[in-house]
Amino acid sequence: MHVLILGGTTEARELAGLLAERGRTVTSSLAGRVSAPRLPRGTVRIGGFGGPRGLAEWLRDHHVTALVDATHPFAARISANAAEAAARTGVPLLALRRPGWTPAPGDRWHPADSLAHAAHLLPALADRVFLTTGRSGLAAFAGLDDLWFLVRSVDPPEGVLPRRTEVLLDRGPYTLQGEREVLREHRIGVLVTKDSGGAATAAKLVAAREAGLPVVVVRRPPAVEGVEVAEDVERAARWVRERTG
């Protein structure tokens, strides 16, 4: 009984540990985009599979009996590849997705459909931007020369950056007090985030609410149709147990 977890998230690490404790053979696959990832229990492989066909071959060659897609909610391509590979092989597939954030009283959220849409909204909101959307895709903001950006990421950003940019290398979870200090020290006027969900990075939303700041929230890509979803680790572990005995 071999479970493959497409991981990189907190929930993926928690699930790997829980399944290992319960005697399951677990392999966690990480994309390799972070230089020093937090490793889960069990076997770990790093790097891509070569698309859905390569993933299907890996599932067959390693006798995988259950596949869990516990990647980031915005890893749409990986999720689509997992669905196609599962369909090719008949391996049961579950998507482990933490719920998205919901606005609270006092929030000033501005939904965006993409990073490009978020960039379009910014000039009307403020001229000092706290950008917490990760290290990729920042070229969408590169033409906003009148704005100043604080870009936070685990590793140095890649690709083209806005002309007026300061980079803050840091890794969550983040505290509320720490987020308050970031907003105050850098005189932030607007926060930009993806709707990642979870508690590890939610403190910035509370800090922005307290400061009365607008928040541009990039919506998640659509979920892959036909794939069963669990919103927490215990439900995912139960799903694995039901399919692997």
Cβ count near 198 (within 10 Å): 16
Nearest by Cα to 131 from 120, 119, 114: 119
Digit-coded pLDDT (tens) for 81-105: 999 999 999 999 999 999 999 999 9
Same domain for 120 and 184, yes or no, is: yes
- The tally of domains found in the chain comes to 2
Pair 85, 13 in one domain? yes
Q: Which helix (H) or strand (E) holds 3?
A: strand 2-6
The DSSP code sequence of 81-149 is HHHHHHHHHT--EEEE-PPPP---TT-EEEEESSHHHHHHHGGGT-SEEEEES-SSSGGGGTT-TTSEE
Parent domain of 51: 2-99+221-244
Angle at 35 between CA 197 and CA 139, to 5 degrees: 65
Rounded CA-CA distance 231/125 in Å is 33
Pairwise CA distance, residues 26 & 166, whole Å:
40
Say if residue 124 is in the same domain as residue 205: yes
What is the per-residue pLDDT for 37?
A: 76
pLDDT score for 172: 85
89 and 122 share one domain: no
Q: What is the CATH number of the domain that holds 58?
A: 3.40.50.720
Pairing status of strand 148-153 against strand 165-169:
parallel
Do 30 and 58 sit in the same domain of this protein?
yes
The list of the chain residues with pLDDT below 50 reads: none
Query: Do 58 and 144 belong together in one domain?
Result: no
Q: Please report where in the chains the tokens 């033409």 appear, as a residue.
A: 143
Give yes or no: residues 115 and 156 share one domain.
yes
pLDDT at 245: 67
pLDDT value of residue 50: 93
Same domain, 123 and 142: yes
Q: What is the CATH number of the domain that holds 192?
A: 3.40.50
C-alpha triplet 144, 75, 56: angle, nearest 5° = 145
201 and 233 fall within a common domain: no
